[in-house]
Amino acid sequence: MEDVATLSSAPAASLPEPAVAAPEESALLRAALAGDARALDDLVRLHHRRVYGYLCQMTRHRADAEDLTQQTFIKAIRGLDRVDPARPLVPWLLTIARRTALNHFRDGPRWDELPFDLAGGEMSPAGETELRDQADALWARARRTLSAREFEALWLRCAEELPLAETASLMGLTRIHVKVLVHRARQKLLKTATPA
């Protein structure tokens, strides 16, 4: 009998589990650790869009996301000597980004209480058009349908392609809890999908 884990359609097989840094990133990190300022700049260039994208998805506010991205990289540079060059940098960066954002919102509204529309008046007209164009897209639907936690778990697993362990560690949850969140998110999205 075929095991469910070997079915191409099984959920466990459809999410990636990378845990090793790309050689390019590893080389840049080693150079940066040796004091090469240009390598450090290249690392910032390589990852700032992902950090900004994650913070923008979580804070729903572009100006906040920009400020928090800057703070994230400043903190990261100060703690760079604690990083293992053999491991991917992104989970570590996103962990710093998440903590920075949580500190930022400690006295304000929680992430899941923030309005969806990226805060009134903050978006350019082009941005609003873009948002409207994407209104029916999968991630826009996920944003509308899912709780903040479900969305974050799904984003980290499917968009950032973080391994399960890294996602759990980043969110401060158990692996099982992350699996449950992702499962629930999928169920909700499948339920709201328009039949083909």
Partner 1 sequence: MNSAPSTAVRFACRVARYRCALGAGPAASAHVAGCPACQRHFQAVAALDLGLRRSAPAARPAPAADFEVRLLRSVCAARAPASARAAAGQRAWLGAATAAAFAGALGLAVFAGRPAAAPAARITPAETVAMAAAAQEFSSRLVAAGIPRAAAAVTDNPLQHEFGAVYADLRSAVDFLALNFLPQSG
- Cβ pair 190, 45 in contact under 8 A: no
Q: Does the footprint of partner 1 cover residue 8 (CB under 8 A)?
A: yes
**Cα separation, 84 vs 75, whole angstroms:** 16
Q: Which one of 26, 104, 119, 139 is in contact with partner 1 (CB under 8 A)?
A: 139
Q: Which one of 21, 25, 29, 52 is in contact with partner 1 (CB under 8 A)?
A: 52
Q: Which one of 5, 106, 108, 109 is in contact with partner 1 (CB under 8 A)?
A: 5
Q: Does the footprint of partner 1 cover residue 119 (CB under 8 A)?
A: no
Q: Does the footprint of partner 1 cover residue 188 (CB under 8 A)?
A: no
DSSP code, position 5 = G
> Which parts of 23-42 interact with partner 1 (CB under 8 A)?
37, 40-41
Q: Which one of 101, 158, 170, 171 is in contact with partner 1 (CB under 8 A)?
A: 158
- Cβ pair 154, 185 in contact under 8 A: yes
Both structure tokens of 38 = 């240009």
Question: How far does the chain reach from its first CA to its final CA, in angstroms?
Answer: 31
Q: Which one of 11, 18, 115, 172 is in contact with partner 1 (CB under 8 A)?
A: 11
Q: Does the footprint of partner 1 cover residue 86 (CB under 8 A)?
A: no
Smaller CB separation from partner 1, 83 or 140: 140
**Cα separation, 184 vs 47, whole angstroms:** 29
- Cβ pair 181, 189 in contact under 8 A: no
- Cβ pair 57, 149 in contact under 8 A: no
Q: Does the footprint of partner 1 cover residue 114 (CB under 8 A)?
A: no
Q: Does the footprint of partner 1 cover residue 90 (CB under 8 A)?
A: no
Number of residues that bind partner 1 (CB under 8 A): 56
Q: Does the footprint of partner 1 cover residue 135 (CB under 8 A)?
A: no
Residue 102: name the closest of 72, 78, 123 by CA.
72
Residue 103: name the closest of 68, 134, 138 by CA.
68
DSSP 10-54: -HHHHS----S--HHHHHHHHHHHTT-HHHHHHHHHHHHHHHHHH
Residues within the interface to partner 1 (CB under 8 A): 1-5, 7-15, 37, 40-41, 44-45, 48-50, 52-53, 56-57, 62, 65-66, 69-70, 73-74, 77-78, 134, 137-140, 142, 154-155, 158-161, 176, 179-180, 182-183, 186, 189-190, 193
